Structure 1
Amino acid sequence: MQRVVTAELDLELGASVDLIFQITAAQGVPLAGEQLTFTQGDRTYTPTEIVDQSGSRLHRLLGEAGRLEVRYEATVEGHAAASRTSDLEAITYLRPSRYCQSDEVFQQARRQFKGLSGHELIAAVTDFVSTSTTYTPGLSQGTDSAVTTLMTGQGVCRDYAHVVIALLRAMDMPARYAACFAPGLRPMDFHAVAEAYLDGAWYVIDATRLAHRRSLVRIATGRDAADCAFLSYHGGYVGLERMRVDAWVVPDAADLDGLAPVGDSAGEDARVEASDPSLDDFTSLVQLA
């Protein structure tokens, strides 16, 4: 499966400011091509790339006052091989974190999911968060946590992921946060999902059920949204004037098998099928690769 992902950000910088971006496909994602540019008038910035322990790629630069245009495009070819998880990493993802206070939801999790483990636990937590939370763009605050979302019953993808992670950690299952490109997502944006660690592998959980998990492209991985922000900055004012994110599937020959061609409709049908969340069996275990 080939996927194309793009991101466009127009920023207004009020002064010299330290900018850190996480908007590119993660290390290990198989890329057929990639282009990342930072331009300000006639000036082009060359960022410093930093790769963290999870393979997230951070791009850092010192921007000057004025309008900064950020453009990213990549073609993803196939899927990445699953990376090995160390004991230390698994332990890290058992601990409470800023937005995933597993210690504060411990009693609720133990009462509600008593006796469940493994795949049954993942399925039960996913179903609970999916059915008890209402997707409400524009109402969630950037400081909302899993506890906030459990109280209000509303949020966006990051909030769904935080609740899933907190509840799984409270049940002694390592869980982490992943920022992704998501073909077929509506409304289109950067997407957030959770991952649960079971029998030596990480499995993706999208309690929003707004994206097809097999089409996702990993951007960043961390304890929660604090580790995976698409932009963080220090030392000055930054205004986000415009942002546009897109991702789509380019069907290959195997995707087209069995589809009756009518002009370009066969390709369009395959593209929709590969990224249609209604065609994802959310009870199955799927790896984000």
Structure 2
Amino acid sequence: MKRVMGCHLEIEVIDPTEVELQVAVSGAWDDGQVVESLRCTLDGRAVDVREVRDPAGARIHVLDAGPGRLVVDYDAEVTGRARPATGTAHERSLYLRPSRYAEADKFFGFAATEFADVVEEHGDDAAVLLPYVAAWVGSRLDYVPGASGPTDSAKDTLLAGAGVCRDYSHLTVALLRALGVPARLAAVYAPGCDPMDFHAVAEALVGDTWHVADATCLAPRSSLVRIATGRDAADTAFCDNHGGGIQLHVSQVHAIVDGPLPGDDLAELVAIT
């Protein structure tokens, strides 16, 4: 499978700041599988960019920008598939803990009651709980752009009954952790996603491999391309800054496959590859 993806960002830098971008595909690919380009200009002049990699493979591109119009263009072509992500002992511990937007400790009682029947039958079997919880979240929420804010957490989403992909994923992750299943959020390019944007999905550790669930069902899971992975959206934001001030004016994302989109059997376990 060949997948083509990328983004165009236009950012107003109000005061001098350090900008962090997470828009490049993750580093989990063999040599020759990815052809890509990243261009950053400030008022038309090229800006030096340095790359930082996190242990999970995300590639954070850091740049220093003074006031002006920062334009970011990223394009990539991916051929074949990456290796499925495997879990470490540290990740198994880390991704059971509550986090800022997936506060699992607030869901222990709720999850134990809501999923009592499936837990009684299957225990903490992640292979069963991952699709079951994702389907539950998909049935309880309405996908409504603008229904949530950037600081809304899983608890806020459950109470509101609506949100976008990050909200669906936060709630899925929080519930899985509350049920004893290590879970995390992945930022991805998602061919077939409508509306097209940076996409967020949930992953759970099944055995030694991370498998993906998308409660929105907006894109086939086998077409996804990983960008970044973390506890929640605080770790995977496509743009962040430290000091100064920025304002995002334009965000355009594209992601397609070469040929027809694959099907997606939601009962099957799928890894992001």
Same fold, TM-score > 0.5, yes or no: yes
Secondary structure (helix, strand or coil) at the match of 2:247 reads strand
**Residues paired across the two proteins, number:** 265
Identity of aligned pairs, percent? Answer: 43
Q: Does the 8 A contact of 2:85 with 2:272 survive in 1?
A: no
Which structure 2 residues correspond to residues 129-140 of structure 1 after superposition, within 5 A?
129-140=137-148
Partner residue in 2 for 1:255: none
Partner residue in 1 for 2:161: 153
Deviations along 1:130-166, whole A, 9 cap, x unmatched? 1000001012100011101111110000000001101
Match of 1:206 among 208, 211, 214: 214
Q: Does the 8 A contact of 2:3 with 2:79 survive in 1?
A: yes
**AA paired with 2:98?**
P
Q: Structure 1: any 5+ residue segments left out of the alignment?
A: 252-270
**AA paired with 2:87?**
T
Match of 1:280 among 258, 264, 267: 264
Distance, in Å, in 2 between the alignment partners of 1:137 and 1:101 is 22
Q: Does the 8 A contact of 2:194 with 2:218 survive in 1?
A: yes
Moved over 3 A (4+): 29-32
Distance, in Å, in 2 between the alignment partners of 1:72 and 1:148 is 33
Partner residue in 1 for 2:105: 103
Partner residue in 2 for 1:257: none
Partner residue in 2 for 1:265: none
Distance, in Å, in 1 between the alignment partners of 2:44 and 2:152 is 39
Which structure 2 residues correspond to residues 1-289 of structure 1 after superposition, within 5 A?
1-30=1-30, 31-114=33-116, 115=120, 116=122, 117-118=124-125, 119-251=127-259, 271=260, 273-274=261-262, 279-289=263-273
State the Cα distance separating 1:32 from its structure 2 match.
Answer: 3.3
Deviations along 1:99-149, whole A, 9 cap, x unmatched? 111110110111121224322222221111010000010121000111011
State the Cα distance separating 1:250 from its structure 2 match.
Answer: 1.1
Distance, in Å, in 2 between the alignment partners of 1:42 and 1:192 is 31
Q: Does the 8 A contact of 2:101 with 2:154 survive in 1?
A: yes
Secondary structure (helix, strand or coil) at the match of 1:4 reads strand
Distance, in Å, in 2 between the alignment partners of 1:129 and 1:29 is 31
**AA paired with 2:16?**
S
* Higher mean C-alpha deviation, range 4-13 or range 35-44: 35-44
Distance, in Å, in 2 between the alignment partners of 1:121 and 1:17 is 43
State the Cα distance separating 1:45 from its structure 2 match.
Answer: 1.2
Secondary structure (helix, strand or coil) at the match of 2:15 reads coil
**AA paired with 2:158?**
L
Partner residue in 2 for 1:266: none
